[in-house]
Structure 1
Amino acid sequence: MQYNSALVTIATVNFDNLVNFYVQLLKQEPKKLIPNVYAEFKISDLSLGIFKPKQNNELEFTINSKSPLSLCLEVNDLEDAIAHLQNLGYPPPGEISTASHGREIYAYDPDGNRLILHQSH
């Protein structure tokens, strides 16, 4: 089997709020936008989609605060990324930790989806 691309999507009933957060976080407008339905951002080779589930499917996408999935974003300057999140009103709740691949910090988007920002050694 051959794969041509990969896409990570986030479902939300707070569509405009979440899209606005990622516009500000990623400092870019969506590459694709269907108002109140779907927005897609390009981050290097990754496509990040945000969609509003149909009303009869909303319960399936109810936020689980213990989700094992994370959106990991590698940054050049971790302190700058933390300051940017603070300016957006979503400061990381913890401290910077050191992992095998570098320094990282956990943060959360307006819907509570986990973001891991990391800076390589």
Structure 2
Amino acid sequence: MITVADVRALARTLPRTTEHLIHDRVKFRVGAIVYVAFSRDEQTMGFGYPKEQRNGLVAAEPDLFFLPRASDLRFNWVCCHLSRLDHAQMTELVTEAWRMVVPKFLARQRLGD
């Protein structure tokens, strides 16, 4: 099972990332833009994801992914159950969410593409 500590270890390697505790929820952001956030019980994780692709993601793996609450549907955001997430998936999701919120040159510099 993936934990906040697993995500923190990755997020600390991503340039410009800062960690915050907001309303008892751990969040990782670049500047003012949150790209990963955990539920209060740390059982689920929300992350940046293109709105136009999230329904397909949820439909492909409904036991793992789910839509955010209605008030957050306007954002590029989707959620997952940490107990069903493996390390490779977490790495890809967190890295891609980070890529969405940093300048392209920085993503290229860090990820090489």
Q: Select the structure with the greater relative contact order (CA < 8 A; seq sep ≥ 6).
A: 2
- Structure number with greater Rg is 1
TM-score under structure 1 length normalisation: 0.35
Greater fraction of residues in helix = 2
Could you tell me the TM-score, scaled by structure 2's length? Answer: 0.37
